[in-house]
Amino acid sequence: MKSKKLVEILQERLTSEHFEWTYDKEKEQLRLDHTLLKKGMEISLTEILAKYKLKKEQAIDEVVYTIAATFRAMEKEQLTGFKGEDTIYPVIRSTSFAEKTASGHAFITKAHTAETRIYYALDLGETYRLIDESMLEQLGKIAENIKEIALFNVRSLSTKMKKDEVAGNIFYFVNNNDGYDASRILNEAFLKDMSSKIEGDMTVSVPHQDVLIIGDIRNKTGYDILAQMTMQFFTNGIVPVTSLSFVYENGQLEPIFIMAKNRTSRKKGQE
């Protein structure tokens, strides 16, 4: 599929009379503006087309849902304003993720590891909005404690998991599809509890925002399985984070590189 055809499909699926479309053929980028909200978004057609090769129509369904849900959330926010403390959560992003909005406002962030950074989000139901400095005045006193509030709220999220065994290694998957699955990596009590149950090396992976994988690596083959697994999740995720995994040891996360079969290398992270 070509970029132009993709734009035509999106225009057919997103039919609001309030949308203005700007297609940049050279950059393969689409700008979608909402005339009533006076807000918009940049859409990378290259990224969608790459996912289309793997997921076909599902990739288009996902982007259409995300765009529609985002604008509905914007409408809701404009009508009702900001809510209370229980709607603020942390989200995990790659360190390559933008640090400012398209309009130049810096996001509220915190260093996490060499591969990941913590952002903060205002939950709007179907989606959320990353908190930037332009929102602080509206958040009032809450702004002073955004990071503490978000960390407290993530501890209240379900840690229900699915378990799978592959070649003698155990893998646990947190996949609630609430937008904050990867954020469970910040629940220190949860990680410590899991470490007490792990018999081998404990690994933690956040290949995309909607999954957290905890590995109980009991043999050398386990690392190769982990590398293949995280890369697959990373490639298929709507919001990829990192294909690298972390060893969890003594309360610290240390990135590991799986270089070849049965060999691993560790890289010190920023804690």
Per-residue pLDDT tens over the stretch 95-135: 999 999 888 899 999 999 999 999 999 887 777 889 999 88
pLDDT mean across residues, the chain? 87
Alpha carbon distance 222, 214 (integer Å): 12
List helix spans (H) across 27-181. 45-55, 57-80, 136-139, 146-154
- Model confidence at 256, pLDDT cuts 50, 70, 90, reads confident
Helices 45-55 and 221-236, interaxial angle, to 10°?
A: 120
**C-alpha–C-alpha distance, residues 110 and 103, integer Å:** 21
pLDDT of residue 76: 67
What phi and psi values does residue 269 have, to the nearest 5 degrees?
A: -100, 170
Reported as a pLDDT band with limits 50, 70 and 90, residue 74 is confident
CA distance 122 to 112: 20
Residue ranges per structural domain of the chain: 3-80, 85-154, 162-266
Q: Which residues, including other chains, have CB under 8 Å from residue 125's CB and lie 6 or more apart? A: 73, 76
- The answer to which of 54-63, 77-86, 152-161, 169-178 has the lowest mean pLDDT is 77-86
Rounded to 10 degrees, the C-alpha dihedral 14/20/23/28 comes to -60
Non-local CB neighbours of 47 within 8 Å, separated by 6+ positions: none
Arithmetic mean of pLDDT, 69-83: 68
Residue 209: the pLDDT is: 94
- Residue 189: its pLDDT value, please? 95
Tens digits of residue pLDDT in 16-48: 777 899 998 888 889 988 887 778 888 889 889
Percent of the chain having pLDDT more than 70?
91
- Give the per-residue pLDDT at 79: 52
Above 90 in pLDDT, residue 66?
Answer: no
57-80 and 45-55 are packed helices; what angle lies between their axes, rounded to 10 degrees? Answer: 130
For residue 236, pLDDT over 50 is answered with yes
